[in-house]
Copies of this chain bind each other. A is one copy, B any other.
Amino acid sequence: MSNTEKVMWLLKRLGEAPYELGVTELADEIGYEKSGVFKTLKLLVQGGFVVQNQSTKKYSVGPALYRLGTVYGERKVILQVAEPVLKAMSYMTEETVSIGIREGDDAILAYKIEGPISIRLENRIGRMYPLNAGAIGKLLGAYHNEERIREILSQTELTKNTQNTIVDQEELLLEYEIIRSRGYAISDEENREGSFGISAPIYDQNGDVWSCLCLAGPKERFTKKKVDNWIGLVINGANEISLKLGYNPN
């Protein structure tokens, strides 16, 4: 058994145990000498993966695992809930549908389902967008804390990716207001020439917006007629996900 497996075994064993376990019983069960088990446990305690009860000297799972578990839970919930919606929309529109998440002061493409027409728009999962350009970035910016937005804008120089990228601070804040009042954002070649996108906010159970649903593709396929239809589709899809996440619109 490698050390990595040993670490996993220890953590799992501590997790399924009723409460606390000592070095000796862990070593006996895993079949190692307690010296080695102790060394590993000490490191795990330092890293917060395990806590040691100072009075009993026994070990249990630690707060670092809680944090990581929460991360997994959040990701799983939103993707699991969102996937059927994305699939349906992708099928109906034949375009790429994606989920964007705000991570700190940036927007990130967290998940996407490609449309059947495979003209690549090279938006890879994990790609980061600024909050001033593109359907995902602008929407998540619009629903971000305005004070924080002003801070960001005053500190960073907005780069003009295309002719349509908004770089003026006041113009951007106005655009944010429009987005909030309409309930959706539109990007017309703001991040990249030839691309078009529509996005709508996803509300979590606290009513906060930290992710959004986005429909995007080559501009030539986004005719006015289609866009008029698709805006409702995106808003409805985002609402559906919001409700499934436990959002209560009041």
Contact = CB atoms under 8 A, between A and B. Distances in A.
A128 interface: yes
Given A4-B44, A7-B4, A56-B125, A19 B108 contact: yes
A135 to B, nearest CB: 18
A154 interface: no
Nearest to A103: B18
A44 B8 contact: yes
Interface string A68-87: 11111101100000000000
Interface residues of A, number: 48
A15 interface: yes
Q: A-side binding surface: helix, strand, loop or mixed?
A: helix
Interface stretch (A58-66, A163-171, A192-200, A242-250): A58-66
9 tightest CB-CB pairs across the interface, nearest first? A69-B69, A8-B47, A18-B103, A3-B3, A65-B68, A66-B72, A4-B43, A18-B108, A15-B68
Interface of A: 2-5, 7-8, 11-12, 14-16, 18-21, 40, 43-44, 47, 49, 53, 56, 58, 60-73, 75-76, 101, 103, 106, 108, 110, 124-126, 128
